[in-house]
Amino acid sequence: MFLVLAAVTALFSYDGTLRPGQTLTIRDVNGSVRVRTGDRLSIRATKRAERSDPNAVAIRVDQRSNGIIVCVRYPPQANRGCDEPGTQMNDNNDTSVAFVVTVPHGIVLDASSVNGEVDVVNDGPTSASTVNGTVRVEGRDVQRATTVNGSVTVDVLDRSRGSLVASTVNGSIDVTLPHGTGLSVDANTVTGDINAPGMDVRRPKYGPGASLNGTLGDGARHLSLHTTNGSITLH
């Protein structure tokens, strides 16, 4: 005789207001985060569990002086605010939370998960991170894109000044910038290669790995790109 456990889901929705320059912070734990730019703030989430009660897991939306923070809280700390101390995860609760978010133009976005991919398109300053999963970011001002186990893909749409930090341990880094962007690049990989047309990539005489420290054009945008097990590509 086999016991079949059916997944249980619970839905969450929030509609609010953010002005250009304000910040939306998203803190997931187990699950994906997908963000796109639109006309207003819309947060939708699906809580899914195989053996736990997803309704016991809280999605908090807290106001800050500079915007809004959204977080996932597991019991017994489900009633705590996002900025209150406490462990976010409960090992006895297998609920995952998948976010689908629409943000208004010009907001500052900081989106993260722990176990899950983060996929973001935003036209304001953007940071995205996870621990186990891929990170993909597209925008005019991508400032940080990091993971530990997974690849990082960044598409920067604006040639203006700024800086980008992209890093992973186990995965590749792929960065695309507009034609003619001036770059100052600090990049290295331990076991992979670096593909950066027009720039001087250093490779050890013996063994794997590569590094790059150089400037292209006026060097207006600084890139800091680091992986351990994977390659780095600049387009």
Q: pLDDT tens digits, residue range 100-138?
A: 999 999 999 999 999 999 999 999 999 999 999 999 999
Strand partners of residue 36: 102
| DSSP helix/strand/coil, 71 | strand
Domain boundaries, the chain: 8-125, 134-235
219: left (phi over 0), alpha (psi -120 to 50) or beta: left
Task: Please report the pLDDT score of residue 23 as a whole number.
Answer: 98
Task: Please report the pLDDT score of residue 84 as a whole number.
Answer: 87
Banded model confidence at residue 37, pLDDT cuts 50, 70, 90: very high
- Residue 1 in this model has a pLDDT that exceeds 60: no
Q: pLDDT tens digits, residue range 151-202?
A: 999 999 988 889 999 999 999 999 999 998 999 999 999 999 999 988 999 9
Task: Please report the pLDDT score of residue 145 as a whole number.
Answer: 98
Tracing tokens 């800091």 back to the chain, one arrives at: 224
Banded model confidence at residue 91, pLDDT cuts 50, 70, 90: low
Distance in angstroms (rounded) separating the CA atoms of residues 71 and 114: 12
- Residue 5 in this model has a pLDDT that exceeds 80: no
| 112 and 133 Cβ atoms separated by less than 8 Å | no
Least confident stretch, 64-68, 87-91, 105-109, 193-197? 87-91
- Residue 229 in this model has a pLDDT that exceeds 50: yes
| DSSP helix/strand/coil, 56 | helix
Give the angle 135-141-146 at the CA atoms, nearest 5°.
Answer: 25
Q: What is the mean pLDDT of the chain?
A: 93
Record the pTM. 0.92
Share of the chain above pLDDT 90, in %: 82
